[in-house]
Structure 1
Amino acid sequence: MDKETKQPAGPLAGLKVIDLTRMLPGPFGTMLLADMGADVTVVEQPSGPALGPRRKNFAVDRNKRSIALNLKDERAKNILYRMVAEADVFIEGFRPGVTERLGIDYARLSRLNTGLIYCSVSGYGQDGPYRLRAGHDINYMATAGLLYLNGRKDTGPVVCGTQLADIAGGGMMAAFAVLSALYYREKSGKGQYIDVSITDAVLALNPVAFVEYDNTGTTPERQGFRNIGATPCYNIYRTKDDRHISIGALEPKFWANLCRLLGREDLIARQNETGAEAVGELQRIFETKTRDEWDRLLDSAEVCYAPILNLAETFRDSQVVHRKMIHEANQPDGSTFRQADVVPRFSLTPGLLRRPPSRPGQHTREILGEMGMDEAAVSDLEKDGVVKTMEAE
């Protein structure tokens, strides 16, 4: 068994969530719920690829319990039905149609629990011509028009530094939707079904480009408007040591402060000038000093800037260290690993790191024991391939 940290409950303490999601989108969303105190049980399959990412110490598996059930067996399905009857939330990440074939779709489960919040997370949604299309983060961003804008004119689109569609469009949107539905249930007593399309969500994550397109009638291009690198006031500049610094001086006062600091007041009137000439003026200036020299100089003035850090530097950054955002966690075997701390922070009911990342089937015996099954009954089910148990590594 893993060691659970006993600390005050988070804001979602008492909420029961059943998680049948895979890969990154759903597991990230249920991690957010678990971090805030929800009792999240991940339902794994007893053999073959696990439902979640299942990399050792992968943070999206933290604060959860895992039970391994063979849902092709009626006995396992009946165990899941018993769990659903007591749950608040059921979240799944299969392609449309799979849950119907398994007998765990909303129509079936809502008869067992009328207050159930049932959330489906999929790449393209439950309907439409792409509903059954396979895909990943990069494909959803491509369809939603975001990937096209991500990059530079001379190099074309580039892959994002994180899985933005999966995390924000899938995981965060699912968590937001679930909490919204729970609030409605608190007032009405009614559960409901939620269809989270990652592509839909990514489309909604790009409001500035929407405004640009709507106002100009021209298709936005890479580095084609102010917020994506068209102007000198909002851009990335290479420094003398081949590092980079970011400038985000959108407000006139911050841009004026920067120009005066650089001794180039003549550039103040060129804040929103598009094209390579104005950007090139600043590029030549920033090439005269190293990134850290610029960091020290710009820190003395009220300018929207930040040196571009690699992850090792981020781990050591004074703001990150002060906020205690890099958490060193202990595993039951005595090893340690680092992960980002729980966000955001609450004054009265903080989210907590209560459990290390779970492993497939790690809590099967514990969960079935809570349902009244003795050790012999669990062993018989495991012998028949209905469940699988696994002690903590």
Structure 2
Amino acid sequence: MLEGTRIIEVEGLGPGPFAAMWLADMGADVICVHRKGGGVTPGMPERSVLDRGKRSIELDLKDPDDIQTFLALVDTTDGLIEGFRPGVMERLGIGPEACHAINPQLVFGRMTGWGQDSALSETAGHDLNYISLSGALWYASNPGDAPLTPATLVGDIGGGAMYLAAGMLAGLLRAKTSGEGTVVDAAIYDGSAHMMNLLMSIRQAGGFGDTRGQNLLDGPHWSRSYVCADGGYMTVQCLEPKFYAQFLSRMGLSQDDDFKRQFDKRLWPVLTGRLAGIFASQPRAHWAEIFNATDACVAPVLSPTEALHHPMNARGTWVEADGILQAAPAPRFSDQTDWQAPQSPERGQHTTDILAELGRNKD
């Protein structure tokens, strides 16, 4: 979908590389500028899944000659992604003003936690910090438990990378029609708060308030996970009465007067305890079979490896290529070809080729 579009990615961590991967998945020519002699970031592999389908050039962005190579690359590109703290790119001489002077149509994407200009913009932080201050973490646990969210998904990826990618796409569309570039200020704090607007719409109708455990999705016995006899888990979220009725039927509880009172908040803790005992009486496979292919809105909690082998993966959502487990691109398009996981490049693998494209070979 993005063939013919070029994106420069300045090597970073987490959300920026993820956004660039997503654009590469959709066909963009993504060139990652890796730090010359920088080595692999601790905890990351030699060839990260996040670099799949990209090309790699090694540059020292403190070296004047390499800065000129970088700016020559800017002149050939449609978009740029960087994830430094505010002001770093400017101090290197490659901030938005310098880049737009060379390429006025450039969409300059900036990924931070707190935004380019805020009370905390110069302060370090991580996923949980951003979403705790934005309000996105507030409902993320059972009543009485400390909030806990899936690692990086709500902040770095959901509120960060995906908002940066959406902003880049919007900027690229405008640049094609207007000839004008823009700067995309993507802050995880902003994006994670924006994702709360679905819950805010429910709040308008009285379904959510500020008291945890008393809301439509964070308190009921029909909206949580339960542990099974073998230590596995089942998720239950049958909000609509017609789906809740199917849940009760499958559990043999249709005639229970207390369970019939689905929205009686006073009963939620008691009914949660009763369901916990029932689910703990049988292994996960038992419950998965009972609820398989029903409208009861109940599903087992699978690990990524288990998801790879589940019948639902006939879609090819999870793939294992060269021993690396990874998820296929999303969303899907009607005219796309079958996807094969591309290799991730070695650091600097395409340096010579890219320099030749720019006419900057030194030999």
The 5-angstrom pairing of residues 1-393 of structure 1 reads: 11-48=1-38, 54-211=44-201, 220-228=210-218, 230-265=219-254, 266-267=257-258, 269-274=260-265, 275-299=268-292, 301-320=294-313, 322-330=314-322, 336-350=323-337, 352-353=339-340, 355-374=342-361, 377=362
SS at match of 2:164: helix
Measured at CA, do residues 40 and 232 of structure 1 come closer, stay the same or move farther in structure 2, by a change above 3 Å? Answer: same
Q: Deviations over 1:198-232 (max 9, x none)?
A: 1111111122443466665985244331212x112
1:14/1:38 contact within 8 Å kept: yes
List structure 1 runs of 4+ shifted beyond 6 angstroms. none
The whole-number CA distance in structure 2 between the counterparts of 1:194 and 1:184 is 12
The whole-number CA distance in structure 1 between the counterparts of 2:320 and 2:152 is 22
Larger deviation, residues 260-269 vs 285-294: 260-269
The whole-number CA distance in structure 2 between the counterparts of 1:74 and 1:193 is 24
The whole-number CA distance in structure 1 between the counterparts of 2:115 and 2:293 is 49
The whole-number CA distance in structure 2 between the counterparts of 1:359 and 1:261 is 52
Measured after TM superposition, the shift of residue 36 of structure 1 is 0.9
The whole-number CA distance in structure 2 between the counterparts of 1:359 and 1:224 is 51
The whole-number CA distance in structure 1 between the counterparts of 2:207 and 2:316 is 46
The whole-number CA distance in structure 1 between the counterparts of 2:43 and 2:100 is 28
The whole-number CA distance in structure 1 between the counterparts of 2:83 and 2:334 is 33
Letter in 2 for 1:243: G
Measured at CA, do residues 245 and 354 of structure 1 come closer, stay the same or move farther in structure 2, by a change above 3 Å? Answer: closer
2:320/2:326 contact within 8 Å kept: yes
Normalising by structure 1, we get a TM-score of: 0.84
2:35/2:59 contact within 8 Å kept: yes
1:327/1:340 contact within 8 Å kept: yes
Measured after TM superposition, the shift of residue 291 of structure 1 is 1.6
Larger deviation, residues 59-68 vs 353-362: 353-362
The whole-number CA distance in structure 1 between the counterparts of 2:88 and 2:173 is 28
The whole-number CA distance in structure 1 between the counterparts of 2:179 and 2:42 is 31
Larger deviation, residues 25-34 vs 266-275: 266-275
Measured after TM superposition, the shift of residue 245 of structure 1 is 0.9
1:37/1:352 contact within 8 Å kept: no
Letter in 2 for 1:260: S
1:27/1:52 contact within 8 Å kept: no
Measured at CA, do residues 24 and 279 of structure 1 come closer, stay the same or move farther in structure 2, by a change above 3 Å? Answer: same
1:42/1:66 contact within 8 Å kept: yes
Measured at CA, do residues 69 and 56 of structure 1 come closer, stay the same or move farther in structure 2, by a change above 3 Å? Answer: closer
SS at match of 1:119: strand
SS at match of 2:110: strand
2:18/2:50 contact within 8 Å kept: yes
Normalising by structure 2, we get a TM-score of: 0.91
The whole-number CA distance in structure 1 between the counterparts of 2:358 and 2:279 is 65
Larger deviation, residues 182-191 vs 109-118: 182-191
The whole-number CA distance in structure 2 between the counterparts of 1:312 and 1:269 is 37
Measured at CA, do residues 15 and 71 of structure 1 come closer, stay the same or move farther in structure 2, by a change above 3 Å? Answer: same
Measured after TM superposition, the shift of residue 51 of structure 1 is 7.8
**Structure 2 unaligned residues grouped into runs of 5+:** none
- Number of positions where the alignment pairs a residue of Structure 1 with one of Structure 2: 359
The whole-number CA distance in structure 2 between the counterparts of 1:354 and 1:218 is 42
Measured after TM superposition, the shift of residue 296 of structure 1 is 1.2
1:235/1:248 contact within 8 Å kept: yes
Measured after TM superposition, the shift of residue 81 of structure 1 is 1.1
Measured at CA, do residues 216 and 319 of structure 1 come closer, stay the same or move farther in structure 2, by a change above 3 Å? Answer: closer
Measured after TM superposition, the shift of residue 64 of structure 1 is 0.6
SS at match of 1:156: coil
Letter in 1 for 2:277: R
SS at match of 2:217: helix
Larger deviation, residues 364-373 vs 207-216: 207-216
2:209/2:215 contact within 8 Å kept: no
Measured after TM superposition, the shift of residue 236 of structure 1 is 1.5
The whole-number CA distance in structure 1 between the counterparts of 2:352 and 2:78 is 22
Measured at CA, do residues 353 and 260 of structure 1 come closer, stay the same or move farther in structure 2, by a change above 3 Å? Answer: closer
